Amino acid sequence: MNASVVKPPVHVLLVEDHPLFREGLAQLVRSCGDGVHCVGVATAAEALVHLAHGTVPFDWLLTDLKLPDRDGWHLLAEVRRRWPALPCVLISGDDDVRAAERAEQWGCRAFLPKHLEPARLRGALAGVLNGERLFAAPAAPAAGARASPAAPAIELTARQREVLQRLARGLTSKAIAEELGIGERTVKDHLTVLYGRLDAGTRAEAVARAVALGLLDLADPVAG
């Protein structure tokens, strides 16, 4: 099946509490096809309101397992009770085999780890939206197959990591400068370098890319 094109229209409800990662993931979902629409919310309660009273019916639910008001399992149970036919996908920062097995048993269409490189995560999402089922990280190319060159390791200085952590918290350049005790111009210089190394054009893309590469842990109290 060609996972690069999803037949429109498709309406996806995304539940993820971290605003920048939510925005980055929503961009990935929308990039799966011209007719793919994605609405992002931060909590299970917001998700239930959108499902019950949204202006358009949603075709998919994509939810993180760790939410501020309840975990993804409780949200899934409520969705299964009220909208049993709605396809659901769980996404988690932990590549937990048991969680993947549980998701499949609960009738989910996929369980996706957050640490996937953005291009692979996009491919996985497109495949799932096209009807595929996925409960493990997409396999590496088979022996003898043409594979894309591995992305080079990205090394960041301690200061760049500090700036990145605060970027993930949604701080402005001025606020980052004040918190770190450095000049705002210096912060902007660090951001320019970070965007270049992460091949990102926006804050959301930078955070999503950093999480995928293991450079940023959103569970870290400094970054969260």
C-beta separation of 16 from 42 below 8 A: yes
Question: What is the CB-side half-sphere exposure of residue 48 using CA atoms within 13 A?
Answer: 15
**Interval 102-125: pLDDT, tens:** 888 889 999 998 877 778 888 889
Structure tokens at 166: 């605060």
Q: What is the pLDDT of residues 151-187, one digit of tens each?
A: 446 788 889 889 999 998 889 999 999 999 999 999 9
Give the contacts of 145 (CB within 8 A, at least 6 positions apart).
none
Phi, psi of 194 (to 5 degrees): -60, -45
Structure tokens at 3: 């996972």
**Which structural domains are found in the chain, ordered by start?**
10-129 (3.40.50.2300), 158-212 (1.10.10.10)
Task: Report the chain's C-alpha Rg in angstroms.
Answer: 18
Q: What is the pLDDT of residues 192-216, one digit of tens each?
A: 888 888 878 788 878 887 877 778 8
Beta-carbon count within 10 A of 101 CB = 12
pTM to 2 decimal places: 0.66
pLDDT value for 149: 42
